[in-house]
Amino acid sequence: LPARVCCCCSALRPRYKRLVDNIFPEDPKDGLVKADMEKLTFYAVSAPEKLDRIGSYLAERLSRDVVRHRSGYVLIAMEALDQLLMACHSQSIKPFVESFLHMVAKLLESGEPKLQVLGTNSFVKFANIEEDTPSYHRRYDFFVSRFSAMCHSCHSDPEIRTEIRIAGIRGIQGVVRKTVNDELRATIWEPQHMDKIVPSLLFNMQKIEEVDSRTGPPPSPSATDKEENPAVLAENCFRELLGRATFGNMNNAVRPVFAHLDHHKLWDPNEFAVHCFKIIMYSIQAQYSHHVIQEILGHLDARKKDSPRVRAGIIQVLLEAVAIAAKGSIGPTVLEVFNTLLKHLRLSVEFEANDLQGGSVGSASLNSSSKDNDEKIVQNAIIQTIGFFGSNLPDYQRSEIMMFIMGKVPVFGTSTHTLDISQLGDLGTRRIQIMLLRSLLMVTSGYKAKTIVTALPGSFLDPLLSPSLMEDYELRQLVLEVMHNLMDRHDNRAKLRGIRIIPDVADLKIKREKICRQDTSFMKKNGQQLYRHIYLGCKEEDNVQKNYELLYTSLALITIELANEEVVIDLIRLAIALQDSAIINEDNLPMFHRCGIMALVAAYLNFVSQMIAVPAFCQHVSKVIEIRTMEAPYFLPEHIFRDKCMLPKSLEKHDKNLYFLTNKIAESLGGSGYSVERLSVPYVPQVTDEDRLSRRKSIVDTVSIQVDILPNSIPSDDVSNTEEITFEALKKAIDTSGMEEQEKEKRRLVIEKFQKAPFEEIAAQCESKANLLHDRLAQILELTIRPPPSPSGTLTITSGHAQYQSVPVYEMKFPDLCVY
């Protein structure tokens, strides 16, 4: 039929139809008749109630032309629709929009790429129009599905395929813009829509030719790239989608990303996954960052049985997300992040231990070795994530995380840790101990507390020092490094690296402040505990050079950060005790370890003598070092820790001038005003249950007890009551099996008694115990034990602020001692 009807028929047709017919020329190549189009537009604006009829008639003509493949008339119809849509803004435009969308849908359903692109362009123009009132019945389900399908076009012609994909991405962008500006915008965030939109965008983003690990936000694409490159256009649309996401629909936009990465196996290698989540973290609002982190943690839990490389890829993505989130709002997920990571650290160690136990020779052994290496990648990724996350937390949160991680570290013989190690075995438990301490080391890095009590509270110090007594040199190294992180508040550790004789400590430019009252109180309470662990750590048989270096650094940091005159005396006593233990060698240490201890003592006394700047003390230390350099270089760190150092056969025949002498040190310090009475009392560490719990051998078989007595208060005929020491008594004292059960039963009986017994009975019993304790204390302070003919030393007893000093003493040996 001709485009224009005859005059007699035309007069009988409605005016709007005649106006619509007139815009179509006889030859579609001539294009839209502009004069008639202006008349139609004026009519539509003047009579908006006719818009729905105009739209319906245009839709009818367009449908007929699409079926008959009259592409020219289709183009004219869409051009007319676009102009009417842009010109008319009224309440009556709603029905017209329905006709318009119906026509766009017809074009998108056609198999011709040209018509699909035409329909998409019209829809994009419509999406940019702001409507005055919301539409409560309009839905875009069809357009979401159709545009998503176009994004996956597989047309044989590359140019046409690219054109269709670009049209699909622009259509999705139009749907997003239209629905976000609509009152019913929540519909686009429904999972059934996001499951189509997000994978379509990611599918096109995979075509990016250059994907790198940029540390900052990915640069925004230029306008030219947006139009020509599907990957860049899809990335821009993805950013825009995430930027419009709110609290309630954030998860619906992120979850399809995981599904896409899983389906296409993009976690290993994970460059594209990292790139996607960088875009996500930089596009969303900062306060919603923790939602993304929660989703990554949840997905890590869901994929916990996957290959190590997949889990490592997810953890690396988490690291990138945490790195960006740490700069803004992390939210309430701090403990959840660490708890999940530590749980997966345990799982990785468990998988590694199982592979080692189940490994066999041949190809299976090679397979197991490969898996072990992959698990180490997972473990290192977890530790790196923990360290980075922890280092970006404020101090108050970081101290909580330190306690949290320390509570997970398993210690043999205790059940205080909260990590399940039942399936790990000894090898797996050691591995998880090392991993957790490495994590703790990362978290404590850069931590600066104003007082040492804040950095090392008792609830943290006690469990931290427990692994320092284990028979594993690597564990002891990690504990010492954690201690250094927390003690070194003035960044002096780097200046102390490496054990050596420092000619002039002043050249190091050590930074220090006056010891505050809180630090002094800390040393009074915990100093002996620190000394004990350093002393015992020096006497371990598996020590290597790094252990001695770290022990030396520990002594130096205590001197810098926490030492007053009293602490300096205690540290010198500790150093002399270490020297004596190396000479006497009650622990049967190899010669290298004995010389290593002597070198450590020399390096520390050289350091502390210059720090306190007492000339006579410095002179004595320098003289001993000078003699050692000439006669016994293996007693100095520069020589003993050198390869192929000649070791002596024994230390008993050496001249006393090679050793640091207590009387010389006391004389030099006493002349400078130091209270040196305690230097004459040898340092002996107190034996505790930690030695049993840490699976290390007994420190000493007997403890030397030195008791002060007053020479004039001992009657000659008084004989002290002493308990007979037999083999059975020693065996009973040493045997600790069943102690825990007895203690539990004892505590239960005490609690039950206080719950059920009458108040008068409890009060009377407490009073009698108080009187008994008072009498016992009086007996201790009024000792009446006869002195032996040859006293062996002295001891100072301190009670409150009073001191009972100097005295002949005798030596008794017991396997254990409880001092009340």
pLDDT in tens, 580-639: 999 998 889 999 999 999 999 999 999 999 999 999 999 999 999 999 999 999 999 999
- Average pLDDT for the chain: 78
pLDDT grade for 163, boundaries at 50, 70 and 90: very high
User: To which H or E segment does residue 452 belong?
Assistant: helix 452-455
261 pLDDT exceeds 70? yes
Separation of alpha carbons 32 and 35, rounded Å? 9
Alpha helices in 47-70 (DSSP H): 51-67
Separation of alpha carbons 440 and 383, rounded Å? 9
181 pLDDT exceeds 80? no
11-15, 81-85, 181-185, 434-438: range with lowest mean pLDDT: 181-185
Mean pLDDT of 4-33: 71
Which tokens belong to 659? Answer: 């050793």
In our burial notation (b when 16+ CB lie closer than 10 A, e otherwise), range 680-710 reads eeebbbebeebbbbbebeebeeebeebebbe
What pLDDT does residue 424 have? Answer: 67
Separation of alpha carbons 188 and 807, rounded Å? 90
Mean pLDDT of 509-534: 92
Mean pLDDT of 558-583: 93
pLDDT grade for 412, boundaries at 50, 70 and 90: low
Query: For residue 45, how many C-alpha atoms fall within 13 Å in the half-sphere facing its CB?
Result: 13
Return the beta strands (E) in 123-200 as ranges.
none
Which tokens belong to 135? Answer: 């539409």
What pLDDT does residue 87 have? Answer: 75
56-65, 148-157, 368-377, 477-486: range with lowest mean pLDDT: 368-377
418 pLDDT exceeds 90? no
- Residue scoring higher pLDDT (574 or 694): 574
3-state secondary structure of 5: coil
What pLDDT does residue 8 have? Answer: 46
φ, ψ dihedrals at 414, nearest 5°:
-125, 160
What pLDDT does residue 574 have? Answer: 95
Residues 397, 335 contacting (CB under 8 angstroms): no
3-state secondary structure of 168: helix
**Contact residues for 806 (Cβ-Cβ < 8 A; gap 6+):** 677, 708, 794, 796
783 pLDDT exceeds 50? no
- Highest mean pLDDT among 656-660, 754-758, 815-819 belongs to 656-660
334 pLDDT exceeds 90? no
Residue 625's alpha-carbon distances to 575, 579, 593, 628, 690, in angstroms, are: 15, 14, 19, 5, 36
Which tokens belong to 222? Answer: 């230029």
What letter does residue 80 receive in the DSSP assignment? H
What pLDDT does residue 796 have? Answer: 42
Which tokens belong to 45? Answer: 């604006």
Q: Which amino acid is at 470?
A: M
Residues 463, 531 contacting (CB under 8 angstroms): no
Separation of alpha carbons 563 and 432, rounded Å? 35
Q: 683-696, pLDDT tens digit by residue?
A: 988 666 555 444 44
Q: 27-41, pLDDT tens digit by residue?
A: 777 777 888 888 888
Separation of alpha carbons 181 and 172, rounded Å? 14
Which tokens belong to 360? Answer: 């066999």
795 pLDDT exceeds 50? no
Q: 384-405, pLDDT tens digit by residue?
A: 888 888 877 888 888 888 888 8
517 pLDDT exceeds 80? yes
Residues 590, 541 contacting (CB under 8 angstroms): yes
The closest of 583, 482, 493, 591 to 533, measured between CA atoms, is: 482
- Residue scoring higher pLDDT (178 or 298): 298
234 pLDDT exceeds 90? yes
42 pLDDT exceeds 90? no
Residue pointed to by tokens 């201790």 = 780
3-state secondary structure of 799: strand
- Give me the sign of the Cα torsion angle 81, 82, 85, 86: negative
Strand partners, 803: 798
- Highest mean pLDDT among 320-334, 340-354, 780-794 belongs to 340-354
Q: Which amino acid is at 87?
A: A
Separation of alpha carbons 695 and 475, rounded Å? 13
Residues 786, 718 contacting (CB under 8 angstroms): yes
Q: What whole-number percentage of the chain has pLDDT above 70?
A: 74
What pLDDT does residue 218 have? Answer: 55
pLDDT grade for 185, boundaries at 50, 70 and 90: low
Separation of alpha carbons 449 and 461, rounded Å? 15
What pLDDT does residue 3 have? Answer: 46
The closest of 635, 496, 601 to 556, measured between CA atoms, is: 496
